[in-house]
Amino acid sequence: MRDLLLLTLLPYLIYACFKRPYLGLALWLWSSLVPVSVWGYGMATSIRWNFVFAVCTMLSFIISKEKSNFKFTGSVALILFFFLHATISSIFNLGYEDHVWLEWEYLLKSVVFGFFVLLIVRKRIHVNALMWACVLSISARAAVDGLKVIISGGGHNIYGISPSFNDNNLSALATLMCIPMMFYLYTEYKKYKYIKFGLIGLIVTNVLMVIGSDSRGGLIGLLVLAGYFFIKSKNKASILIVLFILAGIGYSFVDQAWLDRMNTIKTADQDGSFMGRVISWKLAIILALENPVFGGGFDAAAYGPTWQYLVLSFDRVSFIPSPEPHIMHVAHSIYFQVLGDLGFVGLFIYLALLYGTFSRFNQFKKLKSVQQFWLEDFGRFMTLSIVAFAVSGAALSAAYNEIFIMLISLSIVYLKVINERKEKG
């Protein structure tokens, strides 16, 4: 039934792409975060939905009468320099060739999408469409898992939301990045009763999904997100009450096994899973020391021959205590992932992108114009998304995801819009 519904909607969605390029951009993002094949059956799974929406959006922009006033800036140059650096790293990779170029293709698609965000997004409604795309993909899927946590009394096992976020930890990370977007949409649509209560329900079930995911990185990210949200909020008393309510609801659905797992955060040096991460981090450091400029290429440290070579030099970072390596692991950290993939130079560029995005969103506050007041809310909540990514990503491998690329582009676009309006007085 769902495949018939999707196939029936396809002509209307394509028409929407050509009619309004920003709608095409939102559909492009939506179909990228959670591939439509996840939602449909039968014939609907044979269509390359993301490719269709991407091409339609590009063509729509080209033939659109409303042309962009895009200007090449230092921030845009940094994005392109990062991609160029990743490309050179891929050419001289030390990993599994096919996998390296598959990851490079994923980064290319994300950068192209981010570029069209720079070209198309200009208005408030454009931003809202992209926020809804995230909510109706990641948050909607997370809400289903959150409801299952409630129905099962906390016994539901959470797996991947999408190919990009394909396990419980990465799903928790994506959900955390989208929770602030729902708060932003709540401020935008709180006059509409059904939308308002729908968003509240999504927020609650998404929080329960993060708790029920059994992800220690997700829990830390959730706590940091809640604390930062409280510090930045204007109405701290109300926010504190909401946080206590959410904490009480979440606590009622956890069992002793969950508490025991979360308590291992206190004794991380005695936990086998965490020490496996430390081993991966050490190997990423060794790979970067061997190849400081370009690293080893995407996931090279998890490639058998390269891994065996790195293990021989394991004592080079003996100042970090850990067991001897015996099993291959992925990086389990956006920072060590980039360090091993792209070397110290690549990590420096990546950190500059991360800090620059946070800094630009942080400048959206204290806007004098009433017409720009919504940007203050937008900037505040997007800084929360970046904080969630920076904290939870410290223990997870999701450095090049589409949501982060989108946030980089949005921060560049709207800081430029603000500065232009200030110049006009």
pLDDT at 226: 81
pLDDT at 382: 93
pLDDT at 370: 46
In this model, does residue 324 exceed pLDDT 90? no
**Weakest-pLDDT range from 35-39, 85-89, 361-365:** 35-39
Give the pLDDT band (50/70/90) at residue 166.
confident
Greater model confidence, 259 or 390: 390
C-alpha dihedral (411, 108, 119, 122), degrees to nearest 10: -40
pTM, to two decimals: 0.90
Q: What is the CA radius of gyration of the chain?
A: 22
Nearest partner of 303 among 335, 330, 343, judged by Cα = 330
- Contact between 122 and 71 (Cβ < 8 Å): no
Question: pLDDT tens for residues 255-278?
Answer: 566 555 666 555 555 555 667 788
In this model, does residue 410 exceed pLDDT 70? yes
Give the pLDDT band (50/70/90) at residue 39.
low
In this model, does residue 135 exceed pLDDT 70? yes
What single letter denotes the amino acid at residue 356? G
- Contact between 407 and 357 (Cβ < 8 Å): yes
Greater model confidence, 217 or 372: 217
- Contact between 142 and 178 (Cβ < 8 Å): yes
Q: Work out the average pLDDT over 125-146.
A: 93
Greater model confidence, 246 or 149: 149
Give the pLDDT band (50/70/90) at residue 279.
confident
Greater model confidence, 265 or 406: 406
End-to-end CA distance of the chain: 54
**Weakest-pLDDT range from 113-122, 187-196, 309-318, 365-374:** 365-374
- Contact between 100 and 297 (Cβ < 8 Å): yes
CA–chain centroid gap for 369, Å, is 31
